[in-house]
Structure 1
Amino acid sequence: MLVRTGWLRAFLDAAPAERLSLFRDRTYSGLSGGEDMWELLWDRRVAAVAADNVTVEVFPITGKPMSLHLSIARLGMKLGEMFDLEALADDCAAGGSYAGFFTSMPLNMRGGVGSPSNAMAIV
């Protein structure tokens, strides 16, 4: 599942001082880390979630503290952050199709975490 919030576009279009404030404010749109989101992802058989913002989940976490990052260990979920989805969104809008095949493979590094992805979408 790809989630485009517009955060990365806003960051790239911002002046340097504004970019700094986008990080310092530490308020980000995203998915809920709540039980309802866990159920939705499980019921829809979502294997991975990638977003165009700093965190896949909303931050700061509100309500009952539960992190979507726990789904990595508990559900085998893969999370991707800071994906540039603008060109893909434009292509989907131009073609009128929002379904396709998406794949992403991290660098092949033993013990590596937080690896850059090698993503590709076929729409």
Structure 2
Amino acid sequence: MSGHSTLGVPILHLGGVLVTGLLNELDDKTAVAFAEELTERISADHAHGVLIDISRLEIIDSFVARTLMELTSMARLLGARVIVAGMRPTVAITLVELGLGLDGVETALNAEQGMAALGWHQSEKPPERGTT
């Protein structure tokens, strides 16, 4: 299974959760293609959760914000929960100024908290191997 998307944005599949991120170079066409590809992967991979890390996103516009909300709605219809993690304060301020509260979009402070909310837990240490 490939972890890369056709857009150059990796979409990783970890234990029923798709993990991906958004970068600053996100124009409207790329945002729509990203949403379509991620929706297709949710269905193909039978994912129950999606984590979108936006910690590298420094600016957001109303179109990208609406695309995130629509993606969340589409994912929910497919039975998957979406969590947007790592929002920068400047992005949050911009969303409020634009009057966009990302209705229906769950957020987490960082990717680790988002993954935990989706039920994915990393073990503290690798399992010990028998020496016999």
TM-score (norm 2): 0.35
TM-score (norm 1): 0.37
